[in-house]
Amino acid sequence: MIKMNETEESWKESPIVIFAGVLVVYTVSHSIMVLFS
């Protein structure tokens, strides 16, 4: 539980990490849509 709280705090302090995560998720989802289309 402590590690999870520390991770959440670090994510809040670094919006760049959140942006990178969203970008990765968007890219992966787009790739999956292209593969299945």
pLDDT in tens, 1-37: 556 666 666 656 678 888 999 999 999 999 999 999 8
Position 12 scores a pLDDT of: 63
Q: 15: burial class by Cβ within 10 Å (0-12, 13-18, 19+)?
A: exposed
State the total domains in the chain. Answer: 1
Q: Are 32 and 26 in contact (CB under 8 A)?
A: no
Q: Are 25 and 18 in contact (CB under 8 A)?
A: no
Position 16 scores a pLDDT of: 86
Residue carrying the six token digits 């959440």: 8
| Residue ranges making up the domain that contains 32 | 2-36
Number of CB atoms found within 10 A of residue 24's CB: 10
